[in-house]
Amino acid sequence: MTTPLFLLRCVQLGLSMGDLDFLTIGLVNDMFTERENDEYKYHMLADQSDFDKF
């Protein structure tokens, strides 16, 4: 990942330069990935019984 791409992702997430003092590059990437997955419609979602079996 290039620096401009990283900074673009930070802007898309609404992060400020001050926020970056507390976040790692990996955490910003994870936040961006989760944001992109927010609109995905899962066919099956786990419920409490699935977690109990796990």
Residues 6+ away with beta carbon under 8 Å from 19: 10
Residue spans per domain, the chain: 3-52
Whole-number pLDDT of residue 42:
85
pLDDT in tens, 2-53: 999 999 999 999 999 999 999 999 999 999 999 988 888 889 889 999 999 9
Between CA 27 and CA 35 the distance in angstroms is 12
